[in-house]
Structure 1
Amino acid sequence: MKRYDYFSPKTVSEALDILENANNDTHIIAGGTDIVLDINKGRIEPDEIVNINKLQELKYVKCEDGLIKLGSTMTFSEIESDELLNKKAKVLVVACREIGSTQIRNLGTVGGNVVNSSSAADSVAALIALDASVVLKSKNEERTMKLIDFYDNGKSKIRKNELLTEIFFDEPNQNTATAFTKLGRRKALAIVVMSMGALLEKDESNICTKAQFVLGAVSRHPSRLYEIENQIIGQEINRDNLYELIDNMSTTIYKTIVEGSPGSLRRLNSAKYKSKSIKGIAKTTFESILSDLEIK
């Protein structure tokens, strides 16, 4: 195994000083659940490892100015047990509960899940359903962008000298419900086959005022279903209207997968399977939302 330099900064400022001269062979770890495996299997050979798990500045959940803010080193277990998130962001809590084993959830962080840019990242699908944004800091600059815009062709847009410090989203109001459903292979710890995160907001007449639907593990990164969202906005939220959306979701998935790799038999088979599987996933998701909104 190649030797590398190891850094364990205790403050964000110290971490940013180290990252100021980072290159493509500098890697940040927090929980290390992905990178350590990559190093052990020889997939990456780092010159430097910067371990940020001691940055207590980045371990928080708070509601401020109508926004719910998460520090990037919050572990999945910490998110799963957080009282505010259980009350306001069920989609994220359930997604984090579905990740790996207890040991992985105790170590893995939401920031690491976001930056690693896996198409199957459960927490990312949930956060995009919440229309979340990310805060990226370097020594001399701070950038904010929507999480949906953070990915390009399967990779994140974080720069080598940047640290993901915070994720935030609008605080859902009392007329909002969220849900997350995951389809996985039968092995308990296997990677997700497909997932769906959803947010629906209604007015006092049960008319939909906001809709955010996200699919994970269908394209290179979790994707918003904007066309389908627009079909329910302005309509009454009820079982019939929600179920009418499912066939359109199935068609969208099929086209997305096939167009991602035209002529591929493997992709064609995947498209057929996932376009049928979404029907069960979407029904489960919608039933959860109807229940939380107390709509029969």
Structure 2
Amino acid sequence: MGEAVEMVYETTDSLKNHVSSLVDQKGDWYEEEIDDDLKWSFALNRVLHRGASKYQDIALLDTKPFGKVLVIDGKMQSAEMDEFIYHECLIHPSLLCHPNPKSVFIMGGGEGSAAREVLKHKTIDRVLMCDIDQEVVDFCRKYLTINKETFDSKRLCLVINDAKLELETREEKYDIIVGDLADPVEGGPCYQLYTISFYEKILKPKLNHQGIFVTQAGPAGVLTHKEVFSSIYNTLKQVFKYVVAYTAHVPSYADTWGWVMASDQPFDLNAQQIDEKINERIEGELLYLNGDSFISSTTMNKSVRQSLLKETHVYTENDARFLHGFGRACCA
């Protein structure tokens, strides 16, 4: 995230009430409801921007501990101080495990940070970023200046569409497909992009030979991993031969976070090989990820590991798991 300009923005009364509910009466604290009996709160300097699209409520907050924070539908998506942890973990493992990635399709990613990390790889010829929400993309492009160079890159193709429809209609295939999606919440715009039918019938056929799919998979802590993480992992196991779950602590999320990587080719890199590929392929220095940290991130504690092995739930359109909260609209 980069510098933002405070602005006056016309918005609806319902949205004003929604954003106001995030901040206490004095306007000094941001508050997010993680569960019915659990809230996450931190000191707030000011509200920089608030708005609404057809699909989501949007806010940009200037916070004391985490800098500028992007909030969508009342849930923090990205914080200036530590977004590099999430985005490096989302992007680099799959690209480093692929023998020679040239093309990447990003589902979601309106902030631009996922594409930023992809474009650090010298082998990449083309990145297609498909986000359903024009307003979110326009806002991030204008105010999150750290990603200005990314949005201006000739290697980036930006498409505003439902990622499901976009993949269905495109004939081309990709080396890597990334799910940089909002969390599955009831009424949200993207829970259908976590279902077995989507993975099996639409996404997998769009991967090239040796192609890899990776998705963010929600909270993965000892107390939270059964909400969606274990189910996303199990759903992908029904579709791909090789599935790897990995986690990292993201301070602004107040939890350990999970990602799942899947392919029909085995993942057999060791820490030394990953470090060698980082040096060979990536321009600039990564702030979080190296070979040792990635290998260690795939080792789950006993509680989480047992849950992954025992999980039986599979995501379908009629049997989905949701995180706490509620979105403004569903996908068409």
Q: Taking structure 2 as the reference length, what is the TM-score of the superposition?
A: 0.29
Structure having the higher helix fraction is 1
